[in-house]
Chain A
Amino acid sequence: MTFDLIAGIALTVLALSAVIFLTLWGRRIIERSHSKSRKRLRKTRREVDNE
């Protein structure tokens, strides 16, 4: 019974932490990918302007 309680609470905390962690990680990946593509776009524009 005590094992169930401890394991259950640990699993709940773990699951919620994983949800929060993965969401923040995902957000970071999206922002990085977006800033990279913006940099790429600026660079291409500069090259086109120079030509």
Chain B
Amino acid sequence: MQEFLQQVVGGIAIGGIFASLALALVLIYNAMGLVNFAQGEMAMLATFVAYTLINRGISYWIAFPVTLVVAFAGGIVIQRIVIRPVERAPILTLVIITLGLATLVNGLAGFLFGYVPRSFPSPFSAQSADVAGVFVSYRDLGVIAMSGLVLLAVYLLLQRTTVGLTMRAAAHHPEASRLLGVHVSWMLALGWGLASAVGAVSGIMVAPILLLEPNMMQSIIIYAFAAAVLGGIESPLGAVIGGFVVGVTVNLAGAYIPHVGGDLQLAVGLAIIVAVLILKPNGLFGRAAVRRV
């Protein structure tokens, strides 16, 4: 039982990381009906920015917000340059472009920083606290707290501010918003910036665990896909809950199902995606898609 709880706690911590990246995916999905295949790679590049800053001797707690700002700006720049020319293109075109973006960013990071894995600092101590017989490391607690904060911040931004309201309006009713004087295209860019910053948090959180290298996010993005699909891809809350569920499931599967461990845990992510898409395509919190004939 104790070991079981231990695995659950570990799963929740890693789930917070999946949740952040899944939330980033949902933000862009809501803005333009697109899954951004480059989300993980953008987060990885942002993590390299943080790494460079910290390596220059800047404190972690300054480098962290600076990185988020850089990621935010980067997201906007990418939307303006790469996505805007094809905003109205068919989904096939958009998906291929984001995949091209993923490949490009991955190669760019390899070009600039090389492929040698680097250790990334964690601001939290590696020691553990004993909570009713279950050892919870401060690192895990820190990751959970940080993810929680980010999710709360995004929620407040979208639900309680005028900018958030405008962004949601532009996403759901672009025509009506345009008539009311909203710059819809710029709202999409803001959405990309926000998603990029949220994704960057997941990159910075996961780097101390996985070691930083250009392919770091390749597995995380699969879990984030699974989390977003499980949550119903258009529901931010669903993505967050999906992230925690996927984190715990993957951890438990690795511990208790024979032969599932290490890289085969990724197959659990694939299995979740396939199972949800076949059994309940709208996920836990999504609305049924209505097709216009």
Q: Do A and B come from one complex?
A: no
Residues of chain B touching chain A, judged by Cβ–Cβ distance below 8 Å, are none
